[in-house]
Chain A
């Protein structure tokens, strides 16, 4: 006897193509042009914000930074689908999601200056996580806590294409499948993990299909199509009560991995040019212009307004006064005597008198 022990297929969704034409049969019922306009403004904002941080880094006013250029649709589309009560778990490149979730801008500039002060808890479930996939099990635990506490909240976690190779990615999906937690995994597949291309990251045809091994569903979308990303995320959130979903967003990192690497060293310009033509903002703009909802003058005014907000935030962030005591006093819920002794030693003997230099 021979029979199929498992069957599965990964659907690929694109709603708006590169020229801004929309497939009406797939257009989400709860979206309208005003909402698309709103998403577009957030995408512009995310891009402007990104350019500013990059420029601050180049001026020595920010630490190593991971730009999001090219990934705006993946971030804004998925964040736009979240409800207020939903919990967002970032990796390290989701500045656009933070923006949409309402994280005060100066907080972000503070972070990229090297300070993480009092992250507001209502914006997201956890802080920026650097080791590419360790946030995945956290998200599962958080999602479990929502069910346990009978809360109507879904956890949305981000991971990159490189992160899907990590053990924690697989362990987390496996836990999520067994526990059937309200979780949405956004794979922000920007096709390059520093210098390693997607093809060398995994032999799997899609990253979404990794969900199958954990007994959960997956879908792949055009990650440069903000409507497709919104739709897939919204659908996943809507059915999260019945279990988790993996949404792979196929996008492209137009910039460097971080300010510490030079992508021209490892990838061909021709490839970048192809993806520049698939710019996630250009197609939405074309759509809105055709509908008479947007023009260059409006774009100019919006950008000026956003630049002003950004500059104000940078100024506020740069006024921040650091407190070296705070690294000692926040390690535990109390200050152990041995640590207090080390703090006293530093203060009494003026180790900080030259500002740590």
Chain B
């Protein structure tokens, strides 16, 4: 089937719900309206309001109720309308969803998949453009995934719905309808914790994920450089093995993400390479990210987001070093 990321996730949710009646969806405007991005469109009609719930407007309530549902044997898939609003429920995720299994020595697992649109580039209002992956990855206990293609989105979602863990499923709004892919109609899974080498190469390694992936691919193609491109897909737990193997092979690494530079995922990836492969590098690691400041208003977005020029220059820098 031809699918963009919206239809791919919608299809995954439908298949998951058909195979497991403990899966319930809840969130703001996800039923009648089908979600503000239409990711849950049609699911209310197919599964009824017991399984597709339009909730009151309260993010902590949604995430807290989801934790309770998970503890009581359901497998909730809450949607938080935008990642910027998810901070209102941050405590429920970090204090409870992330900790429950660990603190109770696995007697209380919390199986749930928290979906939320992330990242910018679509000129939205304030709090609609955040890239929060590092926050959710930092404390441990939450699995954090972020697909960049319809194929991965469907496979990762189907996998996430089968895991007995809390998964934060980040959906880049910019990629929702950017392109279509031919994906299998049936259920299939993409392994969580496994990065995808989307292009084999020898000259350098470019590590990225989410909104930056299409730009990275484009820049590499246009420059004609023999780059190995890695799409992390899962932020936590990090696929360190794939990262290190590639870094050791090429000796040159550029890390690209939309989230701001300081204390970000790029810092984590760079640190791991530095700790375990620094003597096999031929050049300093370069990070490309948004500047270390709050996401600006849409008028300034174009000055904030990493673009092809910035990525291209970073590649030149590691190649010339």
A interface with B by C-beta (< 8 Å): 87, 116-121, 125-127, 129, 131, 134, 136-146, 148-149, 167-168, 171-172, 174-175, 178, 326-327, 330-333, 336-339, 341
Contact = CB atoms under 8 A, between A and B. Distances in A.
A337 B240 contact: yes
Contact of B69 (A87, A142, A326): A142
Interface in B63-107: 63-74, 76, 91-92, 95-96, 100-107
A72 to B, nearest CB: 27
Contact of B72 (A127, A137, A146, A167): A146
Given A137-B67, A148-B74, A131 B61 contact: no
B165 interface: yes
Contacts of A120: 107
Given A141-B70, A145-B68, A331-B101, 11 more contacts: A116-B103, A119-B108, A125-B72, A127-B100, A131-B95, A168-B61, A171-B58, A174-B56, A333-B109, A337-B240, A339-B237
26 contacts: A87-B72, A116-B105, A127-B108, A129-B96, A134-B91, A134-B96, A137-B60, A137-B63, A137-B92, A139-B68, A142-B68, A143-B68, A144-B69, A168-B60, A171-B56, A171-B58, A171-B60, A171-B64, A175-B56, A178-B56, A330-B101, A330-B105, A330-B106, A332-B143, A337-B240, A337-B241
Nearest to A89: B68
Nearest to A120: B107
B16 interface: no
Nearest to B239: A337
Contacts of A126: 68, 71, 108
A140 B60 contact: no
| Residue from A119, A125, A140, A331 whose CB has the most chain B CB atoms within 10 Å | A331
A138 B68 contact: yes
A333 B56 CA distance: 31
Contacts of B108: 119, 121, 126-127
A144 B95 contact: no
B50 interface: yes
Contact of B73 (A136, A149, A332): A149
Contacts of A141: 64-72, 74, 76
A125 B73 CA distance: 11
Nearest to A326: B105
Interface string B150-174: 0000000000000111000000000
Interface in B192-219: 193
A145 B104 contact: no
Contacts of A167: 58, 60
Contacts of B109: 333
B101 A175 contact: no
A146 B101 CA distance: 21
A87 B193 CA distance: 35
Contacts of A148: 24, 50, 74
B61 A174 contact: yes
B140 interface: yes
A162 to B, nearest CB: 16
Nearest to B58: A171
A119 B107 contact: yes
Contacts of B91: 131, 134
Contact of A118 (B65, B105, B164): B105
Nearest to B63: A137
A168 B107 CA distance: 25
Given A118-B107, A139-B68, A331-B140, A336 B56 contact: no
B240 to A, nearest CB: 5
Nearest to B98: A331
Contacts of A142: 68-69, 71-72
B55 interface: yes
The 10 lowest CB-CB distance pairs between A and B, nearest first, are A137-B64, A141-B68, A336-B237, A171-B61, A145-B72, A138-B68, A141-B65, A141-B69, A171-B58, A142-B72
B238 interface: yes
Contacts of B102: 327, 330-331
A143 B103 CA distance: 23
A323 B164 CA distance: 23
Contact of A138 (B56, B74, B96, B164): B96
B196 to A, nearest CB: 17
Nearest to A329: B106
B141 interface: yes
A194 B102 CA distance: 29
Contacts of A127: 100, 103-104, 108
B68 A144 contact: yes
A202 to B, nearest CB: 19
Contact of B64 (A87, A168, A178, A337): A168
Interface string B243-287: 000000000000000000000000000000000000000000000
